[in-house]
């Protein structure tokens, strides 16, 4: 009874047998006789966790990116106007699919110098006129050359004639000099005979008639000498005149040839001017022909019309202004991601990666890419060596041919989350690395045994 009086007492043995009545709360308070699994569960959990620490974990670099194309000509293209003009007609609307060469828009001319609808034909007429002008002056050049040749021949003939005349005069001078010498001798003899006759007349040795006869002979000899002297002087004067004629002939024909050469040079200048004008007009015609083709803005490739920047008819478009944007239809997709400079040394050409595409649900285990659901494979094809404005480096990846194909519903510009796969390490090492803030293991995909064997074979083939 002391047990219920509230006085403290020491009880030996089983308390359950000391109680006077059966108490229901006793079974809910004391569990000493029951079996428990908490300790066993804890041991199993610790064992599983220990095994988990030694499981392989694939290190990776996570980065965001966008879907693009492998080749530049397959990316969205801005369709601009090559010339200023006004819109005359639209042939497409936003969202339409077009083929290469389809007309997108027709433009009209707005510049004054191109408003003449017949300007190409008029330019062609000017070209023909200048071509004919060049031909005319070319024929004139040929005539001038022929005239120069004729003048040179005439000069040669004239100089030959004057030279022959000079030779003849020189020969006559020689003959006259010989005759003058003979006349001088005759005159001297006649003079001596006349003096002797005067002496003999004074001595009355001869008659006065004989003296007169000898005086007449002297007078004749003196007249003959004077005549010969005059003839010689005339011939010498003719020789001087002949030399003057030669000089005059040379001067005359030189002036004529120079004048003809001046005409030839003037004609050559006109030909050059006409040809230059023809070339300028030909360029102008070609530019006009090319410009007329720019009135029709054509689709450069198959694709879809998006983002029309102009709308109304007769709206003015400046040169180089954007009209619409065309998204190519047949493209080879790629993914561009941007990695930090800290992670760039870990990215290599041919390296594998996994992707999560926007709009495609996925369950990702970044450390176990093989167990991920909804991800797609790729490999690195290009790593840029210059960082962009955001301070990151651009990496281009393409579809992995050994993995499942990318979904055909992908569109250019959609977002992606990529995991560049690195080296396999234990889970405990990855936890330790992240706790300490260390970078992933540096390695190259070519460091595998197969790559080493391929390198060895390549070296052997060189030797």
The answer as to whether 390 is a domain residue is: yes
Is residue 224 domain-shared with residue 255, that is, in the same domain?
A: yes
Is 392 a domain residue? yes
Mean pLDDT of 339-345: 81
DSSP-derived secondary structure for 125-190: HHHHHHHHHHHHHHHHHHHHHHHHHHHHHHHHHHHHHHHHHHHHHHHHHHHHHHHHHHHHHHHHHH
pLDDT at site 448: 46
118/187 Cα distance (integer angstroms): 100
Are 68 and 94 part of one and the same domain? Answer: no
CATH value at residue 206: 1.10.287.620
Q: Would residue 351 count as lying in a domain?
A: yes
Q: What is the mean pLDDT of residues 433-437?
A: 74
User: Residue 135: beta bridge partners?
Assistant: none
Average pLDDT over residues 82-87: 90
Q: What is the pLDDT of residue 29?
A: 55
Per-residue pLDDT tens over the stretch 203-261 = 877 778 887 888 888 888 888 888 888 988 888 898 888 889 889 989 998 999 999 99
| Within a domain: 362 | yes
Span 113-160, pLDDT tens digits: 888 888 889 999 999 999 999 999 999 999 999 999 999 999 899 889
Residue 143's Cβ-side half-sphere holds a number of Cα atoms within 13 Å equal to 9
Identify whether residues 285 and 191 lie together within a single domain.
yes
Q: Which residues of 141-174 are buried (b: 16+ CB within 10 A; e: fewer)?
A: beebeebbeebeeebeebeeebeebbeebeebbe
Query: Is the Cβ–Cβ distance between 118 and 292 less than 8 Å?
Result: no
DSSP summary character for residue 378 = E
> 57-71, 79-93, 381-395, 442-456: which has the minimum mean pLDDT?
442-456
pLDDT on residue 459? 46
Please give the angle made by the CA atoms of 315, 320 and 324, to the nearest 5 degrees: 65
Residue 396 lies in a domain: yes
The pLDDT value given to residue 4: 47
Q: Are residues 209 and 226 in the same domain?
A: yes
- Mean pLDDT across the chain, nearest whole number? 81
Helix, strand and coil in the chain, % to nearest 5:
50, 20, 30
Closest CA to 429 of 4, 5, 56: 56
Are 97 and 197 in the same domain?
no
Query: Among 271, 305, 326, where does a domain finish?
Result: 326
Range of the domain at 338: 57-74+331-425
φ, ψ of residue 429 to 5 degrees: the values are -70, -40
- 264 and 171 in one domain? yes
**Residue 189, beta-bridge partner list:** none
Write down the pLDDT at residue 24: 53
CB 94 within 8 A of CB 256: no
Q: What is the pLDDT of residue 439?
A: 67
Find out whether 87 and 317 touch, Cβ atoms under 8 Å. yes
Q: How far is CA 152 from the centre of its chain?
A: 53
For residues 320 and 344, state if they share a domain.
no
Query: Nearest 5 degrees, angle CA 146-CA 147-CA 151?
Result: 120
Spatial strand order in the sheet of 77-80: 77-80, 322-328, 303-306, 97-98
Q: Give the confidence band of 367 by pLDDT, cuts at 50, 70, 90.
A: low
Q: Does residue 138 sit in the same domain as residue 263?
A: yes
89-114: average pLDDT: 90
Mean pLDDT of 267-271: 91
C-beta atoms surrounding 326 within 10 Å: 22
Winning range, highest mean pLDDT, from 188-192, 256-260, 347-351? 256-260
Sign of CA dihedral 311, 317, 321, 326: positive
Q: Is residue 2 part of a domain?
A: no
Same domain, residue pair 315 and 389: no
Element (H, E) at 45: helix 38-53
Let me know how long the chain is: 463
Q: Which residues contact 414 (CB under 8 A, 6 or more apart)?
A: 66, 67, 357, 358, 359
Cα–Cα distance, 436 to 431 (Å, whole number): 9
Q: Is there a contact between 69 and 334 (Cβ–Cβ < 8 Å)?
A: yes
Among 25-29, 193-197, 280-284, the range of highest mean pLDDT: 280-284
Both 214 and 307 in one domain: the answer is no
Kind and range of the H or E element at 245?
A: helix 208-293
User: Within a domain: residue 460?
Assistant: no
CB-based contact 323:309 (threshold 8 Å)? yes
Which CATH number covers residue 368?
2.40.30.170
Contacts of 398 (CB under 8 A, 6+ apart): 70, 332, 333, 334, 335, 378, 379, 381
Domain presence at residue 316: yes
* Pair (244, 136) in one structural domain: yes
How many structural domains does the chain have? 3
pLDDT for 373: 73
User: Is residue 171 pLDDT above 50, yes or no?
Assistant: yes
374 and 419 in a common domain: yes
CA distances from 244 to 159, 165, 241, 347 (A): 11, 12, 5, 100
């Amino acid at each position: 009874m002391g047990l219920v009086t509230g006085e403290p007492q020491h009880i030996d043995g089983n308390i359950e047998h000391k109680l006077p009545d059966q108490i229901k709360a006793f079974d809910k308070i004391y569990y000493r006789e029951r079996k428990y699994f908490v300790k066993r569960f804890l041991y199993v959990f610790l064992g599983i966790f220990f095994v988990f620490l030694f499981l392989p974990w694939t290190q990776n670099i996570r980065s965001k990116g966008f879907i693009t194309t492998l080749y530049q000509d397959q990316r969205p293209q801005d369709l601009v106007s090559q010339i200023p003009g006004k819109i005359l007609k639209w042939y497409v609307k936003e969202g339409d699919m077009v083929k290469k060469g389809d007309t997108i828009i027709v433009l009209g001319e707005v510049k004054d110098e191109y408003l003449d609808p017949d300007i190409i034909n008029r330019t062609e007429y000017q070209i023909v006129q200048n071509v004919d002008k060049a031909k005319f002056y070319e024929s004139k050049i040929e005539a001038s050359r022929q005239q120069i040749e004729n003048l040179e021949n005439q000069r040669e003939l004239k100089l030959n004639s004057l030279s022959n005349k000079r030779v003849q005069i020189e020969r006559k001078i020689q003959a006259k000099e010989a005759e003058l010498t003979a006349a001088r001798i005759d005159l001297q003899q006649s003079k001596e005979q006349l003096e002797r006759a005067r002496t003999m007349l004074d001595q009355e040795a001869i008659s006065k008639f004989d003296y007169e006869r000898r005086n007449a002979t002297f007078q004749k000899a003196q007249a003959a000498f004077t005549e010969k002297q005059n003839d010689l002087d005339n011939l010498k004067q003719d020789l001087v005149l002949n030399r003057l004629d030669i000089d005059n002939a040379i001067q005359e024909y030189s002036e004529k040839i120079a004048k003809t050469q001046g005409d030839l040079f003037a004609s050559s200048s006109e030909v050059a001017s006409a040809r230059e004008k023809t070339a300028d007009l030909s360029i102008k015609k070609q530019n006009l022909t090319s410009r007329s083709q720019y009135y029709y803005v054509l689709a450069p490739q198959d694709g879809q019309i998006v983002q029309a920047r102009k709308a109304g008819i007769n709206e003015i478009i400046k040169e180089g202004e954007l009209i619409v944007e065309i998204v190519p239809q047949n493209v080879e997709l790629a993914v561009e991601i941007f990695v930090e400079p800290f992670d760039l040394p870990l990215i290599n050409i041919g390296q594998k990666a996994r992707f999560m595409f926007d709009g495609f649900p996925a369950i990702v285990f970044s450390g176990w890419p093989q167990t991920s659901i909804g991800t797609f494979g790729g490999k690195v094809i290009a790593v840029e060596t210059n960082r962009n404005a955001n301070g990151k480096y651009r990496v281009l990846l393409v579809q992995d041919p050994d993995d499942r194909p990318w979904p055909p519903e992908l569109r250019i510009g959609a977002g992606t989350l990529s995991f560049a796969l690195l080296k396999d390490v234990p889970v405990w090492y990855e936890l330790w690395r992240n706790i300490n803030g260390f970078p992933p293991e540096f390695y190259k995909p070519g460091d595998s045994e197969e790559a080493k064997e391929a390198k060895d074979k390549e070296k052997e083939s060189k030797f």
